[in-house]
Amino acid sequence: MATTPMAPPNTAAGNPNFDGNQAAAPPPPGTDMTGICFRDQLWLNTYPLDRNLVFDYFALSPFYDFSCNNELLRLRSIHPLDISHLSKMTGTEFMLSEVTEPHLFVFRKQKRDSPEKVTPMLTYYILDGSIYQAPQLCNVFAARVGRALYHISKAFTTAASKLEKIGYVEADNEGASFESKAGKETIDFKEVKRIDHILASLHRKLPPAPPPPPFPEGYAPLPIAEVENSSEAQQGTESQLPPVDPIIDQGPPKRMKV
């Protein structure tokens, strides 16, 4: 198997024997490193990124744990992803769970207690040469819920501001309409008095109405009750007439036979 030369851990921190600097301690297991990514363009330009060499590329990143079982296999010149050897060991290990060459590689960090019992810990993925730590599901839910709450509160704030503006406009319109109605319904008492004075002066100038003419001799007016009864009887006889057929009774007249 072709492997790349392994770089010693924490080479960027300097050599304590020559530089006088202490080597930086690796991050403890389970540290949240979702805010960083790793990419080595020189390595990508030199070696192909496939399932045989992807673990060597992942070992260069700060996400790699040198105390894992895969590192022990590398020291013994065994492929670090050989499941036949990893299943016989216990402890922390990395497994290549999903592969879509050459764009996507997913590594799962897990703790093996027996050949059948495995506890997942963290997940890492390599996307087009950049290595990331996948966020945990609870963090994803918290971020999505927080984003949804932010947009909901923003929408309520915008709606409340618009409703306040609409309420002010309606109040102004109602006030203006009330004022216009009140102005239209206002009665000018001076004008009423002036009109009453004109009508009274005209009534005084006009002569009084003549009395009604007398009834002719021999005429006796009917009482009011009898007049009303006769009018009702006439209306009853008119209502009892048969209806007129619009086709038979109002048709064209028949022609005479010659």
In the chain, DSSP finds a helix count (H) and a strand count (E) of 7, 5
| Contact of 112 with 90, CB cutoff 8 Å | yes
Split at pLDDT 50, 70, 90, the class of 142 is confident
Q: Is 242 helix (H, G, I), strand (E, B) or coil?
A: coil
Does an H or E element contain 141, and which?
Answer: helix 137-184
pLDDT at residue 179 greater than cutoff 70: no
pLDDT digits (tens, 9 = 90+) for 190-206: 777 888 888 888 777 77
Q: Is the peptide bond before 212 cis (omega within 30 degrees of 0)?
A: no
Q: What is the mean pLDDT of residues 101-121?
A: 92
d(CA 118, CA 88): 12
The share of the chain scoring above pLDDT 70, in percent, equals: 62
pLDDT at residue 149 greater than cutoff 80: yes
Label residue 62 exposed, middle or buried (CB < 10 Å: 0-12, 13-18, 19+).
middle
The share of the chain scoring above pLDDT 90, in percent, equals: 36
User: Given this model, what pLDDT does residue 25 score?
Assistant: 53
pLDDT digits (tens, 9 = 90+) for 212-247: 777 666 666 666 555 566 666 665 555 555 555 544
User: Given this model, what pLDDT does residue 253 score?
Assistant: 53
User: Given this model, what pLDDT does residue 76 score?
Assistant: 92
Compute CA 200 distance to the chain's CA centroid, rounded to the nearest angstrom: 74
Contacts 24+ apart (CB under 8 A), 3-12: 3/53, 3/56, 3/74, 4/43, 4/47, 4/53, 4/56, 4/57, 6/56, 6/59, 6/74, 7/60, 9/66
DSSP 27: P
pLDDT digits (tens, 9 = 90+) for 41-93: 999 999 999 999 999 999 999 999 999 999 999 999 999 999 999 999 999 99
Beta strands in 21-75 (DSSP E): 37-38
Give the predicted TM-score (pTM) of the model: 0.50
